[in-house]
Amino acid sequence: MKREKELLKGNYAIAQAAIEAGCQSYFGYPITPQSEIGEYMSSKMPELNRAYVAAESEVAAINMVLGAGSTGVKAMTSSSSCAVSLMQEGLSFIAGDEIPCVLVSVMRGGPGLGYIYASQGDYYQATKGGGNGDYKIVTYAPSSVQECVDLTYKCFYVSQKYRTPVCLLADGMIGQTMEPAVIGEYPYPEIDQSDWALDGAKNRKPRFIASIEREQETLRKRVVKIFEKYNKILENENIFEKYETEGAKLVITAFGSIARIAKAAVKKARKNGLKVGLLRPILLNPFPEKIVAEIAQKVDCILDIELNCGQMLNDIKASIASCATTIPVKFYGRPAGMMMTVEEIYKQIENCYKEIVEKKYGTACI
Amino acid sequence: MEQLVFKKPESIKDDFKISFCPGCDHGIAVRLVAEVLDELGVRENTIGIASVGCSVFSYDFFNVDIVESPHGRSMAVATGIKRSKPDKIVFTYQGDGDLASIGLGETIHAMTRGEKVTAICINNTTYGMTGGQAGPTTLLGQVTTTTTTGRKAELSGYPLKVSEILKEVDGTAYVARVTLDSPKAIMNAKNCIKKAFEAQIKGLGTGFVEILSTCPTNWKMTPQQAHERVRGEMSEVFKPGVYKDKVSEAQ
Amino acid sequence: MSVVIYRKNIKQVYFMGRIVLNREKCKACYLCIEACPNKVLDRDTEVNGLGYYPAKVVGNQNCVGCAMCARVCPDIAIEKVYR
C-alpha cells in the first residue's frame, strides 16, 4: 500500500487508522459529528472479514465492545457528547474488568442535546468520567488530522499494552476538517493477549473476567493495581507539545483544536516581541501535572484557553498548586462551539501581558 | 457391573459452590445448562456471560470461560463476543429482571439480528437478589416488597410475557418456556435447553429458553409450595410450551 | 449394589441402585425426598457444616438408581447415582 499524503477528513482518518491498527470489531450508533466513522466502518470492516454491528444504542455499543474486548481482539466504538454519556456505565465496567478497548469521542456543544458545533465541553466527561468507582479513562486529544491517525494508533497500543479503555478525544472541528495527512503503517508491536483473554477453557482452567470482588481486601488490591497502570501510562506514554516555552514570560495552555489557533496567536506574539509560549497536553488523562508544574515555575502567568467554561483549567491550577507556585492563571473560554480567531486570542495575550508581565518588569521586557 | 448413571457434569467446576438459597431452581437450571454443554461436547469452546442478579456468581460453578456483564446488557456483550469469535459457543444466563426489564432492548435487538447465541432466562416473578421487589414478570395480585398489597394493573401494569414476544422476533430460531417442578419437567427443560444450543450451533439464529423458576426465600414458601405455585398460578399466566422451533424443522 | 440369586443352580445377578450424597453440599430443601419413589432418603437429625439438617440416605437397599433425586437436587449434593 502506498503511504502518501492524502487529503483526508478527520473522521475518515480515524476510521482508516483503526483498520490499519488491526481493529477487529467496531460497534457504533450514529451521532453527528462523528457519523462518518461508522459509515466508513460499515463498508470496510465486512470487506476485511471483520466485525461491524450497527448497535441499537450507545448502551449496547459499549457493551458489545466489552464482549469483543474480553476475547482479546482490538475493539472500538465511536460517539459524541450526549451519547458518550450513555456509555459511562459500560466504561466503568470495562475499566474494572481491565479490558482493552478504544473509544473515539468527537465532542459537540452541550449540555444535553446542545448542537453539532465543535466544542471542548466534554473534557470533564472524558477525563473525570461519569461512571462509578475509582478509575480513569486514558485520554489523548488530537489537534490535526495527522494526529487523528497517529493517536488512533497510540490509543490501540496503550489500550492493549495496559489492558485499559483509552479515549481519543476529538471535536467537531477535527472530525470534519479536511487536510493532508499520511496514514502510515501501525508502528507499535502487537501485544499478546492470550494469557488472559477468553477463548474457551481448553486444556486450562476457566477464566473469569469481571469487576466484581466479594472480599474487601481483593477489591482494594484490584483498584490499587488499576491505578498503578495509570502511573505507568503517565510515565511511559505521555505526549505533549511545547512551543516557544523557553524564555517565555507567559505560557498558553490549550488542547485539541483550539490549541492550533492558540499556536498561531503565539507565533504572532513572538513576531511582535512578546515572550509567549504554548503548552499543549496531548495526554489529558492521567493529567501531566509535572510538565505543567515545570513550566509554571519558570513563567509569570499562565493563560488557559478552552472551548468551554473552564475545565482543563482546574487541572492546570492543581498542577501549579502541586509545586507551591502562586503565579496567576488567567482563563479565556467560550462554550458551546463558537470558534475563536487568532486575533481574539492574540488580544487576550496582549491584555494578559500588559496586566501581569509588563507590570512586573516594565515595558522594557518587550 | 454397576453403572454410573448420574454424576456432576464436567461443565460444573470440581470445587463448585452453588450459592443460591435452599430449594431455588436456579441450581437445577445451572446444572441442566452444564449437562447440555457436556452432551454437545462444547465445554472447551464456550464463553458464558454472567449477568447482574443472582446469576452473577456463575463463575462459582460453571467450568467455562465467563465474562461479567453490566445489568441487562448480556445480549449486547454476547453479540460482541460472537461477532469477534464466530466459532465460539456463546450463552447468557440471565434473570427476568435482567433480560425482560432493564435489558429488553438489548434482548430484542440481538435476537432481531439473529445473533447465533443462546439465552437462558430464569423467570421467578421477582427481583431475587435485592430482596424480592416487583419485577416485569410479577403476577397480578402478587405480594412483593414493593407491591405490599399485591400487584395492581392500574398502578404497575401487567406481567411481561417474554416468550410470546420473542417468538415474533424474526431472528429467533428456538423459543420455549419450561418449568422445573418435577423430574419429568426437568428432563423436558433439558431437551429444550439443548435445542436452544443447537439453534446456535447450526447457525439458525438465537436460541431462547425461559425457565419458570422458584424463589422460595422471597416468595416466603417452602420449595415444595413454590413448585406448587409454578404449576398453578404461574403456569396459568406464563403458559409452558415450545413457541418456535426452527431446529426441528431444519432436521 | 448387586444381588446374586441362584435359581436352579444358575447364577443370576440383579443390579440395584445406589446413590452418593454429600451431606455438606445439602441445603435441606428436601426436594429429593419428595422425588424419590422408594423412600431411600429422609431428613438427617444432625446439622451439617452449613447449618442445615441435610437429607440422609436411609434405604439404599430400596434404591433402583432412577436418579430422580439427583435431577431435582438444586445443589448437586447427590453427586453420583449408580445402577
In a domain? residue A200: no
Calculate what percentage of chain A has a pLDDT beyond 70.
98
Rg (alpha carbons) of chain A, rounded to whole number: 21
The b-or-e profile of A207-231 (16+ CB within 10 A means b, else e) is: bbbbbbeeeeeeeeebbeebeebbe
- Per the DSSP assignment, residues forming a β-bridge with B90 are B47
pLDDT of residue A366: 45
B111 touching A (Cβ < 8 Å): no
Shared domain check, A217 and A260: no
- Beta-carbon contacts of B92 under 8 Å, excluding residues fewer than 6 positions away, are B48, B49, B51, B69, B74, B75, B77, B78, B99, B117, B118, B119, B120
pLDDT of residue B31: 97
pLDDT of residue A360: 82
Q: In this complex, do B20 and C1 lie within 8 Å of one another by their Cβ atoms?
A: no
Model ipTM?
0.95
- Which of A198, A203, A211 is closest, CB to CB, to B65? A198
Strands (E), C1-83: 2-7, 10-15, 18-21, 41-43, 55-57, 78-82
Map residue A299 onto helix, strand or coil. Answer: coil
Identify the chains in contact with B, defined as 3+ C-beta pairs within 8 A.
Answer: A, C
> Which triple of cell numbers denotes residue A326?
502562586
Q: Work out how many domains chain A is built from and give that number.
A: 2
Check residues C8 and A74 and name the one with the higher pLDDT. A74
User: pTM of the prediction?
Assistant: 0.95
Q: pLDDT grade, residue A364 (50/70/90)?
A: low
Chain B nearest CA to A41, separation (Å): 15
Q: List chain B domain ranges.
A: 26-250
pLDDT of residue A336: 78
Chain A nearest CA to B165, separation (Å): 18
Q: How many whole angstroms separate alpha carbon A36 and alpha carbon A49?
A: 20
Chain A nearest CA to B81, separation (Å): 5
Q: In this complex, do A67 and B79 lie within 8 Å of one another by their Cβ atoms?
A: yes
Q: What is the pLDDT of residues A34-88, one digit of tens each?
A: 999 999 999 999 999 999 999 999 999 999 999 999 999 999 999 999 999 999 9
Q: What is the rounded average pLDDT of the residues A183-208? A: 96
Q: pLDDT grade, residue A110 (50/70/90)?
A: confident
Shared domain check, A283 and A265: yes
Widest Cα–Cα separation across chain C: 53
Tell me which DSSP letter residue C46 carries: S
Q: In this complex, do B113 and A53 lie within 8 Å of one another by their Cβ atoms?
A: yes
In a domain? residue A197: no
Fold for the domain defined by B26-250: Rossmann fold (3.40.50)
Q: In this complex, do B85 and A211 lie within 8 Å of one another by their Cβ atoms?
A: no
In a domain? residue A203: no
Q: In this complex, do B79 and A75 lie within 8 Å of one another by their Cβ atoms?
A: no
User: Does an H or E element contain A20, and which?
Assistant: helix A10-20
Q: What is the pLDDT of residues A212-225, one digit of tens each?
A: 888 899 999 999 99
Shared domain check, A245 and A230: no
What average pLDDT does the structure give for chain A? 95
In a domain? residue A192: no
C43 touching B (Cβ < 8 Å): no
Q: What is the rounded average pLDDT of the residues A12-25? A: 98
Shared domain check, A122 and A250: no
- Beta-carbon contacts of A62 under 8 Å, excluding residues fewer than 6 positions away, are A27, A77, A86, A87, A89, A90, A91, A94, A103
- Which of B3, B6, B23 is closest, CB to CB, to C70? B6
First to last CA, chain C: 7
CATH of the domain at A253: 3.40.50.920
**Contacts by A192-197 with C-beta closer than 8 Å and gap 24+?**
A193/A72, A193/A100, A193/A160, A194/A72, A196/A72, A196/A163, A197/A70, A197/A71, A197/A72
Q: Structural domain of residue A33, as residue ranges?
A: 5-186+210-236
Q: List chain C domain ranges.
A: 2-82
Shared domain check, A263 and A231: no
In a domain? residue A196: no
Map residue A198 onto helix, strand or coil. Answer: coil
Q: What is the pLDDT of residues B185-239, one digit of tens each?
A: 999 999 999 999 999 999 999 999 999 999 999 999 999 999 999 999 999 999 9
Of B55, B158, B61, B166, residue with least CA distance to B115: B166
Q: pLDDT grade, residue A362 (50/70/90)?
A: confident
Map residue A253 onto helix, strand or coil. Answer: strand
List of chain B residues with pLDDT < 70: none
User: Does an H or E element contain A64, and which?
Assistant: helix A58-70
Q: How many CA atoms lie within 13 A of A257 on its CB side?
A: 27
| pLDDT of residue A365 exceeding 60 | no
Q: How many whole angstroms separate alpha carbon B216 and alpha carbon B91?
A: 26
B209 touching A (Cβ < 8 Å): no
Shared domain check, A256 and A125: no
Asked whether the beta carbons of A85 and A61 are under 8 A apart, the reply is no
- The backbone region for B131, taken as left when phi is positive above 0, alpha when psi lies in -120 to 50, beta otherwise, is left
Does B have 3 or more CB contacts under 8 Å with C?
yes
Of A38, A24, A36, residue with least CA distance to A101: A24
Fold for the domain defined by C2-82: Alpha-Beta Plaits (3.30.70)
A213 touching B (Cβ < 8 Å): no
Asked whether the beta carbons of A102 and A159 are under 8 A apart, the reply is yes
Chain A nearest CA to B113, separation (Å): 9
pLDDT of residue A1: 57
Shared domain check, A166 and A253: no
In a domain? residue A140: yes
Identify the chains in contact with A, defined as 3+ C-beta pairs within 8 A.
Answer: B
In a domain? residue A195: no
Shared domain check, A172 and A80: yes
Q: How many whole angstroms separate alpha carbon C62 and alpha carbon C80?
A: 16
pLDDT of residue C1: 54
pLDDT of residue C15: 61
